[in-house]
Amino acid sequence: MKTRTLAVGLLLAACALASDNTRAVLKPGTLAEPWLTGGPNCLSVPDWQVHEYNDDFYILRESGCINAEKPFLYLIFGEDKALLEDTGVAYDTPDHTVIPTAPFIMDLLAKWAKRKNHAPVSLVVIHSHSHGDHTAADPQFKALPNVQFVAATPEEIQKASGIKTWPTDLGQIDLGKRIIDIIPIPGHDVASIALYDRVTGNLMTGDSLYPGRLYVPEAQIGTYAASAKRMVDFVNAHPVAHVLGTHIEQGSQSYFDYPRGTKYQPKEHVLELSRAHVFELNEAFVKMNGKPVKMVYPDFAVVPRVANTTMPADVQAGDGMGLQPGVLPTGWRTGGPNCLTIPDWQIKEYNEDFYILRQSGCINPEKPFLYLIIGDQKALLEDTGVGTLMPDGTRGTVIPTAPVIMDILAKWAARKKHAPVSLIVIHSHGHNDHTAADPQFQALPNVQFIAAKPDEIQKAAGIAKWPTDIGHIDLGGRVVDVIPFPGHQEASIALYDRLTGNLMTGDSLYPGLLTVEDLPVFTASAQRLADFASEHPVAHVLGTHIEQKALPYLDFGRGTIYQRDEAPLELTRAHVFELNAAFISLHGTMNVVAMPDFTLVPRGTPDTAYPASLRPPAAKPN
């Protein structure tokens, strides 16, 4: 047995080495929430909102009271130079006055140097692209001494950053112990670029990828598509903490954007998109296949426009796709610091017919999520939870789960003055952290119990052929699609609720460590889920655990009971494409693959965290 252990050890060492190539030792930062927009009272909105992502990386937003475009600017400091991306917008008035931007930026540079007790740094000005809402204060900077001004033309960018061939090569700007990569991404504009900061791992994508309407001139669809593909290649080779664009037009609700010209956006989407959205952007262009069709996605829309025609002043790409809205619960408690104050169950409403439950980490560090979806005649419960973790590591007593669920259903009926509904129990898969309270439900009358076995699921959901066909469960005015998703486990499924557009992905896709049991089978499932997401509106992707920290590429490691600052539960439609791309990148050989929001790990890997140096000490099961 000794030799076998050694072999496994070597294998794991090989995994760790391979993942070193993509290991993200990125300087962390925080993102502002919320950003100021343009109102409700313009007297109280400052011209600039300056947010420090960290002390060498500033994000600025220009007020919506100046111009409804309210663009974002980026100011990044190196040892010798600071780089400013974009110079902002002019007033939305007939005279197009520009506010004093250069003095404001130079003041930030002076304050930075003073606070850090650092010699003054010189400034490089570059642009995400040439449009007027990003270049309006250019003359102010050109007039300054000691400013390297890079005009928003391909030739000037190429010269300044040493790009050999535009747009297929990359350039670099060295700020002094900080390299910014320049990635030509023409399409929205001839001079569109993305900036990649190697220190933070932030990818600045300008108007080419942001939460809002990505305009593409019809004649440039092919160019933009090629740029999206090159961005995919880039993020496949570099760790990406956040994708940061230059506007927010999206609302917090999926598939909804504020009409063009909206100054005040009280329920705005966050600024940051994720690495996953680069894959989703690419998927949009693949689907467009060169044709000028509008693609409306949860977090952005691609909007083709005919050149030299005026755009309607109040253009809007998406109004929610008719999906029933809901609120993503925040503030989940995990398991501590004091277990006496943590309830066994936390029950939160996405909306009045869609409940999300979490079992306490004080019962078991798995702290799984359960979903309860209610239709006119039936309710569907996904999973029954986990048993108490015993001191010897085994699972013991199961806490009362069935009474909690039946109580919710009774209260739901009373509150809605609705006839009682019967219950169907189904499972994300067959692992015992999701099935422990099964006997409690099997013992109840009027409960349709679907065992976590492919043939049982197939029968109950009418799946013609496992795993390539899709089944349905009708709850009465609410159909839930059942998508076979083997790979983590043989009976893994995803559930798709057509009313909310929520896609429940179980242990196959959640913010944490995704265990791959059967690589070829999981790879095929990931492709089928991507095909499904490509054809259906997906509001949110909801899994059954959280192991990820709120910082990219970091997880708590398995078995952590108390998780301070854990990542949110929800992933996006974009992550379905990122998952698929991750499997494709493995080329059939299992390895640890770390993404910002999840990590693929082979079954049997010891508690995997990433990177190891920043990992909290592993919690002993007790």
Interface residues with Zn ion (CB under 5 A) are 133, 207, 431, 433, 507
Cβ nearer to Zn ion, comparing 73 with 199:
73
Cβ nearer to Zn ion, comparing 133 with 578:
133
CB of 567 to Zn ion, least distance (A): 16
Query: Per DSSP, what are the bridge partners of residue 384?
Result: none
Tokens of 235: 């993020």
**Would you list the DSSP string of 231-283?**
HHHHHHHS--S-EEES---BBSSTTBBPPTT----TTBPPSEE-HHHHHHHHH
Query: Per DSSP, what are the bridge partners of residue 494?
Result: 483
Cβ nearer to Zn ion, comparing 29 with 245:
245
CB of 215 to Zn ion, least distance (A): 9
Sign of CA dihedral 158, 161, 164, 170: negative
Given a contact cutoff of 8 angstroms between Cβ atoms, the answer to whether 235 and 227 are in contact is no
CA–CA separation, 423 and 441 (whole Å): 9
Cβ nearer to Zn ion, comparing 365 with 501:
365
CB of 189 to Zn ion, least distance (A): 9
Cβ-Cβ contacts under 8 Å for 107 (sequence gap 6 or more)? none
CB of 132 to Zn ion, least distance (A): 8
Is 394 exposed, middle or buried, given 0-12, 13-18 or 19+ CB atoms closer than 10 A?
exposed
Q: Interior CA angle at 191 toward 186 and 195, to 5°?
A: 80
Cβ nearer to Zn ion, comparing 296 with 386:
386
CA–CA separation, 609 and 616 (whole Å): 9
Cβ nearer to Zn ion, comparing 378 with 431:
431
Cβ nearer to Zn ion, comparing 187 with 201:
187
CB of 276 to Zn ion, least distance (A): 21
CA–CA separation, 488 and 507 (whole Å): 7
Q: Are strands 301-305 and 213-217 parallel, antiparallel or unpaired?
A: parallel
Cβ nearer to Zn ion, comparing 192 with 282:
192
Cβ nearer to Zn ion, comparing 507 with 578:
507
AA letter at 144? L
Cβ nearer to Zn ion, comparing 434 with 478:
434
Tokens of 604: 């049997």
CB of 206 to Zn ion, least distance (A): 8
Closest CA to 480 of 458, 504, 455, 453: 504
Cβ nearer to Zn ion, comparing 181 with 207:
207
Q: In what order do the strands lie in the sheet with 540-543?
A: 471-474, 479-484, 493-497, 502-506, 540-543, 570-571
Closest CA to 246 of 223, 212, 274, 282: 212
Cβ nearer to Zn ion, comparing 457 with 499:
457
CA–CA separation, 569 and 511 (whole Å): 7
Cβ nearer to Zn ion, comparing 26 with 317:
317
CB of 402 to Zn ion, least distance (A): 20
Given a contact cutoff of 8 angstroms between Cβ atoms, the answer to whether 239 and 201 are in contact is yes
CB of 133 to Zn ion, least distance (A): 4
CB of 370 to Zn ion, least distance (A): 11
Residue 179: C-alpha distances to residues 76, 82, 193, 589 (Å): 10, 11, 15, 33
Neighbouring CB atoms inside 10 A of 498's CB total: 15
CA–CA separation, 611 and 554 (whole Å): 7
CB of 178 to Zn ion, least distance (A): 26
**Would you list the DSSP string of 533-550?**
HHHS--SEEEES---BBS
Give φ, ψ of 244 to 5 degrees: -120, 120
CB of 307 to Zn ion, least distance (A): 17
Q: In what order do the strands lie in the sheet with 593-594?
A: 513-516, 599-602, 593-594
Residue 274: C-alpha distances to residues 244, 419, 597 (Å): 8, 43, 9
AA letter at 182? I
Cβ nearer to Zn ion, comparing 499 with 569:
569
CB of 433 to Zn ion, least distance (A): 4
Cβ nearer to Zn ion, comparing 507 with 570:
507
Query: Per DSSP, what are the bridge partners of residue 149?
Result: 125
Give φ, ψ of 223 to 5 degrees: -65, -45
CB of 168 to Zn ion, least distance (A): 24
Residue 602, preceding peptide bond in cis (omega within 30° of 0): no
